[in-house]
Amino acid sequence: MADTPAHLDLWTAPHASGAVDATVTVPGSKSVTNRALVLAALASEPGWLRRPLRSRDTLLMAQALRTLGVGIEEGVGPDGTGEAWRVIPARLHGPAAVDVGNAGTVMRFLPPVAALADGEVRFDGDPRSYERPLHGVIDALRALGARIDDEGRGALPLTVHGAGALEGGPVEIDASSSSQFVSALLLSAPRFNQGVEVRHTGSRLPSMPHIRMTVDMLRAVGAQVDEPETGGEPDVWRVSPSALLGRDLTVEPDLSNAQPFLAAALVTGGRVVIPDWPERTTQPGDALREIFTAMGGSCELTEQGLVFSGTGAIHGIDVDLGEVGELTPGIAAVAALADSPSVLRGVAHLRLHETDRLAALTKEINGLGGDVTETADGLAIRPRPLRGGVFHTYDDHRMATAGAVIGLAVPGVEIENVATTAKTLPDFPAMWTGMLGLEPVGADRNA
């Protein structure tokens, strides 16, 4: 493009010449891997993590735990097959410096862990991490007895002055800007002297499946959790103090990272199989079966995995994505190619994700000739014929994969900084060309 600044690193998104027909093995879930690492680090005995996701967000989590004293050995599993990490808990201590990158899970889940360490733990990260909400975690930890120095910012960078233990007890938080505030407090709570009682006071709570994931994973390592969905008080979670077990856990494929591949089947009228799609899961990506079916596809869970087929038609959708916000960029990309308008609602909090995703999607889809407007809590998308051009990604992995989906249908889409997909899916470009038969599928889950 004539007006492209020379410093932009552009990747020409492959245009699909026909219907895709591929089996795509998707690496492990970011959300499961990073929860499992925290829980294993807090356990009273070593544990195994099989098929962990190896990406920027999870390597930052592993590195941070190591700097706090935890042993994490990367290698093969107890039966000699597949990648597995051995996590060996140890006394948590400072001084330590934690780089959170732009990982919500690292910046929210680790300050409570640091409060349990002996010594100072300094948290810093990418410039964007300074803008992402953290006040819920900081204020709650202070109320529970921690000393945190954030120079009044209510955000990164900050120092947790760990005292080797935390009193815990009841605390109120407004988690309407991120469910990760709740998950963060619950994950470390078995190690607080009194456990925790978290009461969410805000009007809305996004990403409930991710809180369910936290509760399920806590229970799987022996924690006692009372929560609204199994008879507890609405918006209140209680975790009792207890020791945690070291487990042998196999990480499910990341269903949100399966999204662009499913979208490829939908957009090209093709067929994609995702092996190891779990029958039951708390991952929000499972909602894609319903959402992409409503948008024109069809799917079946078989022995081979999830078989997802496009029919040639792509329909618009009116949907509240508040529970599954991280799916929004991929759904917006498909919606821009549909035969009718879409309204995506319930995702105002995406303005504080990796980038302001509502602004970014609007600008970039419109830059290709689209007609997207921001609403108070989402996007209104009216499909238009699109043309090629640069799709800026703002260091957001899901912007990059969304642009690639549009590129399947629109020749000449150039994705800026596709390497940003390394946040959760480092092999994305090779997997994408592999899916299209341009070279072998690149993911290796070391199964």
Ligand X SMILES: O=C(O)C1=C[C@@H](OP(=O)(O)O)[C@@H](O)[C@H](O)C1
Determine the angle formed by the axes of helices 104-115 and 30-42, rounding to 10 degrees. 10
Quick one: 118 or 356, whose CB is closer to ligand X? Answer: 356
Work out how close the CB of 60 gets to ligand X at its nearest, in angstroms, rounded to a whole number. Answer: 14
Quick one: 180 or 362, whose CB is closer to ligand PEP? Answer: 180
Site map for ligand X, 337-376, x if CB under 6 A? ------------x---------------------------
Q: 103, 184, 225, 360: which one contacts ligand PEP (CB under 6 A)?
A: 103
Give the three-state DSSP class for 391: strand
Give the three-state DSSP class for 202: coil
Specify the pairing of strand 196-200 against strand 169-173: parallel
56 counts as binding ligand PEP under rule CB under 6 A: no
Nearest residue by C-beta to ligand PEP? 104
Quick one: 188 or 328, whose CB is closer to ligand PEP? Answer: 328
∠ CA 336-337-340, nearest 5°, is 80
58 counts as binding ligand X under rule CB under 6 A: no
Quick one: 31 or 159, whose CB is closer to ligand X? Answer: 31
207 counts as binding ligand X under rule CB under 6 A: yes
Quick one: 180 or 417, whose CB is closer to ligand X? Answer: 180
Distance CA 26, CA 110 (A): 26
82 phi-psi bin (left φ>0, alpha ψ -120 to 50, beta other): left
Q: How far is CA 349 from the centre of its chain?
A: 14
209 counts as binding ligand PEP under rule CB under 6 A: no
Q: 51, 247, 353, 392: which one contacts ligand PEP (CB under 6 A)?
A: 353
User: What does R_g of the chain's alpha carbons equal in angstroms?
Assistant: 21
Per DSSP, the residues of 231-250 read: T--TTEEEE--------EEE
Q: Is 101 in contact with 70 (CB distance < 8 Å)?
A: no
Q: Is 268 in contact with 19 (CB distance < 8 Å)?
A: yes
Q: 14, 104, 246, 270: which one contacts ligand PEP (CB under 6 A)?
A: 104
Residue 103 binds which one of ligand PEP, ligand X, none, with CB within 5 to 8 A depending on kind? ligand PEP
Would residue 326 show up in a list of annotated catalytic residues for this protein? yes
Q: Is 303 in contact with 337 (CB distance < 8 Å)?
A: no
179 counts as binding ligand X under rule CB under 6 A: yes
Length of the chain: 447
111 counts as binding ligand X under rule CB under 6 A: no
Which candidate, 441, 412, 374, 402, places its Cα nearest to that of 11? 412
Which candidate, 170, 186, 168, 169, places its Cα nearest to that of 39? 186
Name the catalytic one among 83, 197, 323, 326.
326
For residue 156, give both structure tokens: 């990164």
Q: 206, 296, 322, 370: which one contacts ligand X (CB under 6 A)?
A: 206
188 counts as binding ligand X under rule CB under 6 A: no
Work out how close the CB of 50 gets to ligand PEP at its nearest, in angstroms, rounded to a whole number. Answer: 22
Binding site for ligand X (CB under 6 A): 31, 104-105, 178-180, 183, 206-207, 210, 325-326, 349
| Residues designated as active site | 326
Binding site for ligand PEP (CB under 6 A): 103-105, 326, 353-354, 398, 424
